[in-house]
Structure formats: C-alpha cells, structure tokens
Amino acid sequence: MNLKLNALVKSKSSLRAGEGRLAFTAISPFYFLYLVFGIFPILYTSYMAFFAWDPLGEKVFIGLTNFTNLLQDEVLWKALRNTLSIWVLGTVPQLALALYLATILNRNRLRFSNFWRAAILIPNVTSVLAIAVIFSSLYGRDFGLINYVLNFFGVDKINWMEGTLTSHIEISSMIIWRWTGYNALIYLAAMQSIPKDLYESAALDGATGWQQFIYVTLPGIRNVMIFTITMSTIGGLQTFNEPYILGGVTGGNDKQFYTLAMFLYEEAFRKFQFGYGAAIGIFIFFCVVIFALINAFIASKIAKD
Amino acid sequence: MFKSIRNAKIVAVFAVVGALVLPTTPASAAPVEITLSCFNDLNMGNLLKEWETVNPNIKVKLKTADFNAHHDGLLTQLIAGQGPDIACMEVGYTSRFKAYPQLFTNLGKTFKANTLEKSFINWRWEQGVARDGTIIGIPTDVGGLAMCYRQDLLKKAGLPNERKAVSDATSTQAKLTAFAEKYVAATGKPFLDNVSQLFEGVSRQGADGVQFYDKKTDKIVEVPQVKKAYDLAATFVSKKLSAEIAPWSSDWNQGMGNGAFAAMLCPSWLLANIQNNAKDIPGAWDVAQMPGGGANWGGSQLTIPKFAANPKQAWTFISWVLAPEQQLKLFLDKGVLPTTPAVYKDKKFLAAKDIAYNNAPIGKIFSDVVMSIKKPIYEGKYQVSVKDAYNAAVGRMASGKQTPAASWAQLMKEIKKIKSLS
Amino acid sequence: MSAITEKNSTSTSLKPQFRIGSALSYLVLGVSTFLVVFPFWWMLVVASNTKDEIAKNPPRFVIGDQLPVTFDVIFEYANIYRAITISFIIAISMAISHIFFCTFAGYAFAKLKFKGQKQLFAFILLTMMVPGQLGIIPMYILVTRLGWNNDLKAIIVPGLVSAFGVFWMRQSISAVISEEVIQAARIDGASPWQIYTKIVFPLVRPTALVMGLFSFLNAWNDFLWPMLILDGDKMLTVQMAIAQMKEQAYIVNHAAQMGAAFFATLPLIILFFLVSKQLVKGVMEGAIKG
C-alpha cells in the first residue's frame, strides 16, 4: 500500500511532464501541417479582403471599403436568407431522420444489419454530378416524375427551380438524400458505445422505448449530437455544390437559390473581384461563429435540464 | 488537289509556318507531351488519332472538365503562374481572358500567326485578339445560328413548311411573331422552345456591331437593338408563343422528340443532339434561316498560355488541327462548322446534306449564316457578367415573376453595379 | 432479460408495442433503402439504354442492353480503372492518416492536460468555419511552388490532418472514456503512451473507424482540388473521369456519365460491406470491455 502511495506521489510530477510531452507529440505534427495548409491560406485570404484585388492584374489597398460596400449590398442579405432557408430545410429534417435511422439500426435483433448500414451510405458515395442529373430530371417541370405524381393529387405543374421556396426544397431534398445516411452512421457509432446495462436498468424501472430514448440514448450521445449540429451548421452555411450543380453558377434569374458561398465564388472567380470575395468569406466566417456559439449555448442549456 | 490558287496559298502559309517551328531534332528524340485543356474534346477524337500518325513526336494529352470549372480552373492556374500547353476557351469567356494579354503567348509575335488572319472569318478571328492587338487565340469552330423547325407540325397547322418559304415568312421580328401566332392559334401549342436564345441571337444583330460594349470606349452601353430583342422576347411571352423550357434540361431534350415546341434556334453543333432526341421522327426537323439574318452561338479559341511548357510543339499542333483541311474533315465527320471560309467553297462541304433533317444542305445553310455576320461584336472584360444579368432579366420576365418593365428596371440597377467595377 | 420484462405488469403493453415498432422500423428502413437505391438503379438504367428511350415519357425503367456500348465509350474517354486506383490510393492514405493523427490529437485535447489546451482547440474549431473556396488560390500557389504539380502529394499532404476528425474524436473520447478508467491505468503504472494505445484507442476504435471511413469518402468525393492539380490523362480521379464523359461539343453523354458513376461507386459499396463487418466486431469487443 505504502509503495503504491509513494509511486503515486512520485509519479504525479513526472506524470505532468510525461503527459505534457505526449500531448506535444500528439499535437505537433497535426499543427505543423495545419499551419502550412490550413492556416496560411486563411491568413492570405484575410489579407486580400483589404484590397481591390484583381487576380490577374494589380492590387490596390482600400482599407475597409470592401466591407462597407458588402454590408450595403442587397445581394448579400438575399444570399444570407437563401442560405439560412436551405440550411433549415435541409439540416433539421436530416438530423432528425438520421437520429431515427440510427436508433433502428442500433437494435440488437435487426436482420441484415450490415446491408442496411451499407445501404444508407450509398448516397454519399455516388458522384454529385450524376445525382444532380437525376434530381433535375425528377423535378422537371413538364416531364419530371415528381410533378407527374403530384398531378394525381390535383397539383399543377411546379417549376421547381424558378420559385424561391420550391428551389430551396429541391436543393434541400438533394442534401437530405445525400447526407442523412452519413449522420445516421455517426449517431450509430456513438450509440453503440453506450453500455447496454444502462438500457437494462431503465427497462427494469419500467421505461418504455421512447423513455429509454430520451433518458438513456440522447444523453449518451450528447457530445456527438453537438458535434453533428455544429458540423451541419458549418457545412450548411457554406452550401455550394448542390445549388451550383442543380441550378447553375448564377443562382437563378432572381438569385432565388443563390447562397453565400456562390456569391463568394461568382465575385472572386467570375468577376475577378478577389478582395470583395475575401470580404464575403470573412462575413461567412462570422456568421458561422455566431451560429456555432448559439448552438453551443442552447446545447449546454438542454444539458442542464 | 488544290481547289484554287487561294487554297494553295493558304496551305503554303501553314506549311511554311509549320516548317519554321517544327523542332529540328534528331529522329530518335523522345516524344514531347503537350496538354490540351478544354471543356470537351471539341469533337477532335478522330483528328487526335490521325495526329498520332502525322506527328508521332508530339503527343497530345487531352484534359476535359465541366464548362465553368474548366474556365475558372484556368484562371486559378494562370494566377499561380501555371498553365497547360494549349487552353481552349469558349467565346463567351475569351473577352475576360483577353483583358490580360500578358498571360498568353503572343501568337503574332512568336509564331507569325498574323499571317493566318485572312484565312479565318474576320469576326471569329477578332475574338482571339486583345484590345492592344495581341493575338492570343486561333478560332476553332463557329456556331452559326439558324432556326430548326418541325416541318411536319407546321404542315399540320396549315402553314408553309418548305425551307425557303419558312425563312421568308419569318425574316423579320414582326413576321416571326405573326407566324408564331398563326401556329399557336391553329394548334394551341407553343411555337418556340424558349426566348432566351431568341434574345441572345437578336441582341447581336445590331447594324453597328454593338451589343453590350462600345468598341471605341471599351465601356458598357445600352443600345436600341438590345432593347428591341428584349421587347420581342416579352411579346413572345405575353402571347404565349414560347414553351419556356429551359435549355439543357431534361424537359428540353424530351421536347425535341415529343412536339412540345415546333421551332428552336439551333447552331450547327446542336443538330446531332436534336436528332438523338428525335430518333422516332426522322426527317421531321428541318433547318431554315434565323429571323433577322445571322447570329452566333458558341465556338472557341485555342490559346497558348504564357506559362506553357512546350509552346513550340503546341503551336505545331494548333496550326495543323485548325488548318482548312482538318476543319473540313471535322465537318464531314461531326458536322462542326469550320471558321475557315475556304472550306465553304469545297464541293464536299456544299454537297453535305443531312438526311435526318429532311436532306437540308446544312453546310450551305450554316455557312451562309456565318458569312452574313459582318460586324464582329466587341466583347469587353465583364462580358460574361453583363450577359448573365441580361439573361436573368429575360428569365424573370419569361417566367412571369416580374413584368417586363420591372425586370428591366432591376436589370439596369445590376448593370450600374457592374459598370462601377474597374 | 425478456423473461424478466415479461413478468412486469407493463409487459403486456410492451410486447405488442415492440412488434408494431418492429414493423414500423422495417418499413422505414425499407422506404429509406428504396429512396437510396432508386437513383442508383436509375443510373444503371440510363447507362444501359439509348438516349431516346430515356427521353420518352414515362421513360423505360428496365435495364437495357446498351451496357457494352456504354463501356466502350467510357473507356474511350477516360481510363476508369486508373481513376479508381488513384482515387483509392488518395482516399486510403487520408483515412489511415486521419485514424492515426486525429485520434491521437483528439485524445490529447480530451484527456491530457497542457498549457493553452482550450485556446488551441478553439482555434482549430475557428479555422473550420472559414469557407474553403478562397483558400484554394493561395493553396494552389503554395503547392506549385513546391513543385507538386500533377503529383498526388499535392492532394494527400494537405489532407493528412483534418480539423473535422480531431473535433469528432475529441467529442467521442470525452464521452466514452471516463476518468476512472484512466486513473486506474495510471495507478497500475502505465505510461501516458501505453494508456493511449492499450486502453483509449481500443475503446474508441469503432468511432475512429467510422471517422476513417468518412475521411475516405470525403477524399473520394473531392472534385475541385484534384481537378486543378492533376492533368486528367495519366493522373485523374474518379470524379474527374465522370466529368470527362462527353459526347459532343457542349453536350454531355448521360449514359456514359451514369455508367461511370455507377461503376465508380460499386467498389465502394463492396468495401462498405467488408468494413461494416469489422465495425460490428469492434463494437462487440468494446461492449464487452465497457
């Protein structure tokens, strides 16, 4: 016993040092690479925002002009509204559905579980280009399958990509299709780390399936839920691929599905305004930070209950 | 072999230039690989195969990418001081890159490309020349815009369906509108596929060759022809003469085969696609002149970026593949319209009839269109963005989102913003 | 366990509920799978029929006979075997690197104590929030200065670490590994390295594997960056190959594109079936230990 205590006391200081060294080894390769390939581009981009920067020509220092112009640009606020709308329509149902799918896949006696698990990941694996062609044709105004079916219910032909809400629905449905399985698997992996005896004791206490879900599953995957919500926020506010491929680079003739990221792309790569594009990038960054903080705040509030 | 002295001269020029730049290396040298970066293969599949036998010392690697991604990727590479050996750029994009001639090999100075100018259609040639006179690109093909129509549907509607008759009946904007109205009244179905192409084509028919940019001042301007084109589009929409099916959508492809519209503006390179979508109705489509005369849709230039690794070899290939003989082959093989007018006089070219299009002499039809375009449209640095704004305005008006007047007002606001860019 | 619950007074309502719940579960799974598989099936249909068959309304839903023709077109336009191999090399390197580096770094942030820990982690989180598109230009300049043009290094090296992965593993590790387990190991005299390799990693392996899988997927799906770097002839990824399926100027050959997409996805699905078995194994071990 005494020996053990001695060992404890002795090792505490060397423990700190040992841990510190290990931590250093663990993090430094990551940080080094990250510094070069992750942080340098970001710093360079921020630098660009203070210039009128023509990528193939000259750059002129203009201080905060890009930012003041940007905040007064009505296109920015439209893009922000579109981005938020697509994000809500795409992320909320997606995460809820992912959670539900994960609980189903988590069942002990599920048959063919391997098959289901692989199946839900298929959407994420298929090429976005190919899928966009399929979704475009499904949502075609005159000959698309969806309008064909809706017609049976007396609904007129919808020109999906023309309208604001309808284009958001089409884009969100593609995002949901593509990413639900992905998030479901993240939840599943987390759920499978919850000790089974917690469920047993809950069942013994008479908890129903639903109650077990609320009181055992959810708290158990709380960290991972925060993770997926944060990642969905970060990803959602930067949505680019789906609207770009479905609807083209200009985001619709009234910019009805123009997202913040598309705005950045068009300004920088099609209008040669790198400084302005960089300013948009910084704006997006601030939006994401604000949302992430709100998320974290709400999440910690829920945890307290 | 030489159809005329003129032809011989042209071939001689190419031969001399080619000889000047062919590498004079020993026969056992390793083949040089050059990269050709484009948004599609420019239909050169067979020509590339032929090149392997013509010049095995220069291997051409083709790299393709999505249309926008290709051009934006080129921009990224140029910024970083990189570039493929040959970069193709579509005419809508050349104006942007032309604003920076210093990023491209000066083909005139380095390879005496200015001697080739006369062999090409003047306005197509101009699209590869920067404002300061630097020649940065050589034209590949040209779109030429005609009007494809369903001669069987017109017949059913009691309208003239023979090529000349249709061209005459639709030769002006007013006549076209009246013709379309007759069709719609008779059949209850729309006449045209959409108004966006109509707008683009007609907006380029200004007598002085001005569309969005003034050539002398290099500034964005508003000209009556463009407003006329817009109003024509508005008329078509308000009288329901257009089906308003978006180009390249699946609805559009299907529409070609199922009679959703009876006419569409078509460049030569679209003909095969129309046929593919209308396999069940061979000979139903025919080709007439487009209202108002000539216009253009598409075409590219081949450029050599300044940072190309093998500019000499690149030029060797370019001068071969764009020579009239190869352009003729491309036409006979794939229906791609050449930019070298010498070809237009070739017997084979004139004799080419497309069975699928009711035996229309497409060579003659499209070359007539192309040759009738006299004034090259000057395109400035922000051509793409201005064109996008105009197209968006037409789109908003066509889909009924805004009245023509409101859409135009919003457009003017957007143009003002673009004008303020340097 | 079921014997005990059956004896409870609430058990009579539990059993039928479970059955309905079970039926509903299979229904949801079935519908989800259909929604998921249908586009995939549709790809095969487009790849194996001629253009006009698809353009009809309603179009053919059955697999046609044009597959061999489509195959020829695909191989004429792009070396699909090579593309799959290269994509595979890139994706596997990233996956393994992430499983190694990110789990390790995530452990450091979750369980070890060192100066500036919270700030460094917050910094990583912040950097994830900056949109990627603008960063492409400076990255491209950097990479070409290093001479990595048309080299897989330009794709793999920047992707060796991932903030996403570190974040995920940190969350997982702090949820799964309790302080007591680590303390017990310390008392037993284990060094911090041993604690990591013998206790932490095995426990968190299922999540690490899933993260690796996702790293693989992200690398597989990445389109823009490889397109800038690689020349598309000898060096190309699957996504680039699919984009290269063209028929004529300005027009895309849908059959070839769909065919390429379908055949590019197939090896991945096979891979998943293999990996998911591993996942189940790893999970069982974790459950027994935990």
What is the residue extent of each domain of chain B? 2-141+298-351, 145-297+356-419
What is the 3 state secondary structure string of A128-159?
HHHHHHHHHHHCCCCCCHHHHHHHHCCCCCCC
> Cβ C221–A128 below 8 Å, yes or no?
yes
Chain position carrying tokens 């393709």: B64
The answer to whether C51 faces chain B, any CB pair under 8 Å, is yes
Chain position carrying tokens 């319209």: B337
Q: Distance (Å, rounded) from C-alpha A215 to C-alpha A227?
A: 19
Reduced to 3 states (helix: H, G, I; strand: E, B; else coil), residue A253 is: coil
User: What was the pLDDT predicted at B20?
Assistant: 43
Whether pLDDT at C9 is above 50: no
Q: Distance (Å, rounded) from C-alpha C223 to C-alpha C226?
A: 6
Contacts of A140 in chain B (CB under 8 A): 249-251
What is the radius of gyration, based on Cα positions, of chain B?
Answer: 22
Q: How many CB atoms lie within 10 A of CB C40?
A: 22
Contacts of C250 in chain B (CB under 8 A): 40, 67, 269-270, 298
> Cβ B65–C244 below 8 Å, yes or no?
yes
Q: What is the pTM of this model?
A: 0.81
User: What was the pLDDT predicted at C253?
Assistant: 64
Contacting partners of chain C (3+ CB pairs under 8 A): A, B
**Predicted confidence (pLDDT) per residue in A104-151, tens digit:** 888 766 777 777 777 787 788 777 777 887 888 788 888 778 888 888
pLDDT-wise least confident of A288-302, B7-21, B118-132: B7-21
User: What was the pLDDT predicted at A171?
Assistant: 94
Whether pLDDT at B41 is above 90: no
Whether pLDDT at C114 is above 80: no
More confident residue, C275 or A286: A286
A72 pLDDT band, cuts 50/70/90, is very high
**Predicted confidence (pLDDT) per residue in B387-402, tens digit:** 999 999 999 999 888 9
Q: Which CATH architecture has domain B2-141+298-351?
A: 3-Layer(aba) Sandwich (3.40)
Q: Please confirm whether the linkage preceding C58 is cis (ω < 30° from 0).
A: yes
**Do residues B85 and B308 make contact, with C-beta atoms less than 8 angstroms apart?**
yes
Find the chain B residues whose C-beta atoms sit closer than 8 A to any C-beta of C.
35, 37, 40-43, 45, 61-67, 69, 73, 76-77, 79-82, 84, 141, 250, 253-254, 256-258, 269-270, 272-273, 276-280, 298, 334, 336
CB-based contacts of B313: which residues, under 8 Å, 6+ apart?
Answer: B23, B32, B34, B58, B85
User: What was the pLDDT predicted at A68?
Assistant: 92
ipTM here: 0.79
* CATH of region A67-304: 1.10.3720.10
C238 pLDDT band, cuts 50/70/90, is confident
- Burial of residue B65, with CB atoms counted within 10 A of its CB: 0-12 exposed, 13-18 middle, 19 or more buried: buried
**Alpha carbon distances (Å) from A140 to A276, B110, B254, B402, C47:** 35, 51, 11, 22, 20
Contacts of A253 in chain B (CB under 8 A): 391-396, 399, 401
More confident residue, B18 or C70: C70
C90 pLDDT band, cuts 50/70/90, is very high
**Do residues A194 and C145 make contact, with C-beta atoms less than 8 angstroms apart?**
no
Reduced to 3 states (helix: H, G, I; strand: E, B; else coil), residue A77 is: helix
Whether pLDDT at A9 is above 60: no
- The whole-number average pLDDT for the span B32-38 is 88
Find the chain A residues whose C-beta atoms sit closer than 8 A to any C-beta of B.
52, 54-57, 129, 136-137, 140-144, 159, 161-162, 249-250, 252-255, 269-273
Whether pLDDT at A267 is above 50: yes
B2 pLDDT band, cuts 50/70/90, is very low
User: What was the pLDDT predicted at C287?
Assistant: 44
Give domain B145-297+356-419's CATH superfamily.
Periplasmic binding protein-like II (3.40.190.10)
Kind of pairing between the strands at B32-38 and B58-64: parallel
pLDDT-wise least confident of A217-231, B291-305, C2-16, C199-213: C2-16
User: What was the pLDDT predicted at C55?
Assistant: 56
User: What was the pLDDT predicted at C251?
Assistant: 52
> Cβ C187–A4 below 8 Å, yes or no?
yes
DSSP, res B354: B
Contacting partners of chain A (3+ CB pairs under 8 A): B, C
DSSP, res B337: P
CB-based contacts of C239: which residues, under 8 Å, 6+ apart?
Answer: A127, A129, C87, C220, C221, C222, C223, C226, C227
**Do residues C89 and C198 make contact, with C-beta atoms less than 8 angstroms apart?**
no
Whether pLDDT at C248 is above 70: no
User: What was the pLDDT predicted at C8?
Assistant: 36
User: What was the pLDDT predicted at B230?
Assistant: 95
Whether pLDDT at C250 is above 70: no
Element (H, E) at A106: none
User: What was the pLDDT predicted at B11?
Assistant: 42
- The whole-number average pLDDT for the span B318-331 is 88
**Do residues B144 and B369 make contact, with C-beta atoms less than 8 angstroms apart?**
yes
What is the radius of gyration, based on Cα positions, of chain A?
Answer: 25
Whether pLDDT at C3 is above 50: no
- The whole-number average pLDDT for the span A156-175 is 91
pLDDT above 90 covers a percentage of chain B that reads 26
Q: Distance (Å, rounded) from C-alpha A185 to C-alpha A179?
A: 10
Element (H, E) at B61: strand B58-64
- Tell me how far apart the terminal alpha carbons of chain B are, to the nearest angstrom: 52
pLDDT-wise least confident of B23-32, B310-319, B341-350: B23-32
Selection from B269, B171, B277 nearest residue B261 by Cα: B277
Structure tokens of A303? 């945890």
More confident residue, C136 or C104: C104
DSSP, res C196: I
- The whole-number average pLDDT for the span B352-368 is 82
- The whole-number average pLDDT for the span B261-273 is 85
- The whole-number average pLDDT for the span C208-220 is 85
Chain position carrying tokens 């794939």: B334
Do the domains at B2-141+298-351 and B145-297+356-419 have one common CATH topology? yes
User: Could you say which of C50, C233, C251 has the minimum Cβ distance to residue B273?
Assistant: C251
User: What was the pLDDT predicted at A257?
Assistant: 94
Q: For chain A, where are the alpha helices, taking DSSP H only?
A: 2-34, 40-48, 65-71, 74-105, 113-125, 128-138, 145-152, 164-191, 196-204, 209-212, 218-220, 222-237, 241-247, 260-265, 274-304
More confident residue, A253 or C206: A253
A6 pLDDT band, cuts 50/70/90, is low
Query: Residues B110-141, buried b or exposed e (16+ Cβ, 10 A)?
Result: ebbbeebeebbbebbbbbbbbeeebbbbbbbb
Whether pLDDT at B349 is above 80: yes
What backbone phi and psi angles, to 5 degrees, belong to A108? -60, -45
User: Could you say which of B41, B73, B270 has the minimum Cβ distance to residue C227?
Assistant: B73
Contacts of B395 in chain A (CB under 8 A): 253-254
Whether pLDDT at C10 is above 70: no
**Predicted confidence (pLDDT) per residue in A77-101, tens digit:** 999 999 999 999 998 899 999 998 8
pLDDT above 90 covers a percentage of chain A that reads 19
- The whole-number average pLDDT for the span A157-162 is 88
> Cβ B42–C249 below 8 Å, yes or no?
yes
> Cβ B66–A56 below 8 Å, yes or no?
no
User: Could you say which of C18, C134, C214 has the minimum Cβ distance to residue A268?
Assistant: C134
> Cβ C248–B42 below 8 Å, yes or no?
no
CB-based contacts of A151: which residues, under 8 Å, 6+ apart?
Answer: A157
pLDDT-wise least confident of A1-10, A169-178, B186-195, C118-127: A1-10
C160 pLDDT band, cuts 50/70/90, is confident
Q: Distance (Å, rounded) from C-alpha C192 to C-alpha C258?
A: 51
> Cβ C55–B253 below 8 Å, yes or no?
yes
Whether pLDDT at A35 is above 70: yes
> Cβ B245–A142 below 8 Å, yes or no?
yes
User: What was the pLDDT predicted at A89?
Assistant: 94
Q: Distance (Å, rounded) from C-alpha C201 to C-alpha C195?
A: 9
Whether pLDDT at B6 is above 50: no
Q: How many CB atoms lie within 10 A of CB A8?
A: 12
Contacts of B280 in chain C (CB under 8 A): 52
**Alpha carbon distances (Å) from B357 to B167, B198, B406, C242:** 15, 21, 41, 32
**Mean pLDDT for chain B?**
84
Q: List the beta bridge partners of residue B373.
A: none
Interface of C with B in 218-237 (CB under 8 A): 224, 227-228, 231-234
pLDDT-wise least confident of B76-80, C12-16, C144-148: C12-16
Q: How far is C55 from chain B (nearest CA, A)?
A: 5
What is the residue extent of each domain of chain A? 17-64, 67-304
More confident residue, A240 or C58: A240
User: What was the pLDDT predicted at C283?
Assistant: 47
pLDDT-wise least confident of A43-52, B12-21, B39-48, C20-29: B12-21
User: What was the pLDDT predicted at B8?
Assistant: 41
User: What was the pLDDT predicted at C167?
Assistant: 85
More confident residue, B407 or A143: B407
| For C134, nearest residue in chain B (alpha carbons) | B76
More confident residue, B233 or A285: B233
Selection from C130, C129, C124 nearest residue C168 by Cα: C124
Structure tokens of B273? 């696609």
**Alpha carbon distances (Å) from C81 to A178, A204, C86, C236:** 25, 56, 9, 10
User: What was the pLDDT predicted at A85?
Assistant: 95
Interface of C with A in 64-93 (CB under 8 A): none
Structure tokens of C19? 């059955």
pLDDT-wise least confident of B69-73, B113-117, C11-15, C169-173: C11-15
